[in-house]
């Protein structure tokens, strides 16, 4: 299946088309092979320079955040969960979202038992690109928790651009 793919790495935003089997996007991202993007576009965070390529291979450890797009996974694999609203700092990106876990558990306490790439629902990402603040609400963002510099329980349900004065300095 081919889907539109949008990701954020240490120094650029990357988008294109990616193909994978019937697995969930999170499972695909936690695999071992490089991700091949077709019709790829890379946008540098520092100056907004754009590079277009017919195809590019991206290593998973280079990905900080991926926007979940395309169909949801098999609904028969879904289980009832409880969520915890968290605030992550991942390199130049700040992400707010809900981490899910089994009832009776604290989702953040079990993060090390999961793959590097984990989904956050009801998410917002904020970052600087070409000297401008960008804030984007997304249904689900899949983050690479292994690159998180900071994580804490979120104090707010949703942010707005005025909440990001830290990103302007």
Q: Are residues 52 and 91 in the same domain?
A: no
Angle in degrees, CA 96, 15, 13, rounded to 5: 55
Residue 149 lies in a domain: yes
Residue-level length of the chain: 169
Question: CA 75 to CA 132: how far, in whole Å?
Answer: 39
- The model's pLDDT over 3-46, given as tens digits with 9 standing for 90+, comes to 899 999 999 999 999 998 878 888 899 998 899 999 999 999 99
Residue 73 lies in a domain: no
* CATH number where 121 lies: 2.30.30.100
- The model's pLDDT over 34-62, given as tens digits with 9 standing for 90+, comes to 999 999 999 999 999 999 999 999 998 99
Residue range of the domain that includes 119: 79-168
Q: Which residues of 46-69 are buried (b: 16+ CB within 10 A; e: fewer)?
A: eeeeeeeeeebebebebbbbbbbe
Q: Would you state the pLDDT for residue 156?
A: 64
Question: CA 28 to CA 20: how far, in whole Å?
Answer: 7
* CATH number where 12 lies: 2.30.30
């Amino acid at each position: 299946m081919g889907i539109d793919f949008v990701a954020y790495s240490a120094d650029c935003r990357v988008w294109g088309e990616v193909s994978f089997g019937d697995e969930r996007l999170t499972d695909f991202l936690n695999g071992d092979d490089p991700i091949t993007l077709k019709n790829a576009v890379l946008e540098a965070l520092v100056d907004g320079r754009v590079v277009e390529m017919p195809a590019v291979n991206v290593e998973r450890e280079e990905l900080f955040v991926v926007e979940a797009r395309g169909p949801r996974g098999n609904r028969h694999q879904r289980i009832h969960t409880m969520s915890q609203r968290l605030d992550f700092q991942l390199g130049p990106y700040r992400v707010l979202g809900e981490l899910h876990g089994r009832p009776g558990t604290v989702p953040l306490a079990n993060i090390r038992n999961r793959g590097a790439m984990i989904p956050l629902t009801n998410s917002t990402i904020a970052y600087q690109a070409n000297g401008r603040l960008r804030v984007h609400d997304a249904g689900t963002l899949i983050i690479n928790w292994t690159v998180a510099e900071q994580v804490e329980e979120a104090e707010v349900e949703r942010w707005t651009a005025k909440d990001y004065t830290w990103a302007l300095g």
